[in-house]
Amino acid sequence: METTQTTRQQKIARQIQRDIAEILQKEGKAIVSGSLVTVTTVHVSPDLAYVKAYFSIFPFERSEEVMKSLDENNWFIRRELGRRCRNQLKIVPELQFFLDDSLEYIKNIDTLLKE
């Protein structure tokens, strides 16, 4: 996907980011299984058919387990997203989930600097 997004793509990305966060907070407690999950970034394709969502997970040790759970429940999150954005979008975009490990990277650098 291109790094430069149109204003419409940016608006839709922000709305999808809020919606996914709300879905996980309200209906998806079992999906995140007690971890703190933050939707850090959302990128939308130019045709609005694909979404890449990046998640930050705490504690980081459980990130693999939570990402697996997110992938397994992709259909549920997409269905709920469709209910929320059906008036704004013609099609509900395909969702792809990625781990945003930048916080873990920062933590490792901080630890190395303190040594």
Report angle CA 80, 85, 91 to the nearest 5 degrees.
Answer: 95
Could you report the per-residue pLDDT of 24-55, keeping only the tens digit for each? 999 888 888 888 999 999 999 999 999 999 99
pLDDT over threshold 80, residue 10 = yes
Is residue 86 very low, low, confident or very high in pLDDT (cuts 50, 70, 90)?
Answer: confident
In Å, how far are 19, 37, 66 from 34, measured between CA atoms? 19, 9, 10
**63-83 average pLDDT score:** 94
| pLDDT mean across residues, the chain | 89
* Domains with residue ranges and CATH for the chain: 7-114 (3.30.300.20)
pLDDT at residue 85, rounded to an integer:
87
Tokens of 7: 């204003």
pLDDT value, residue 3: 55
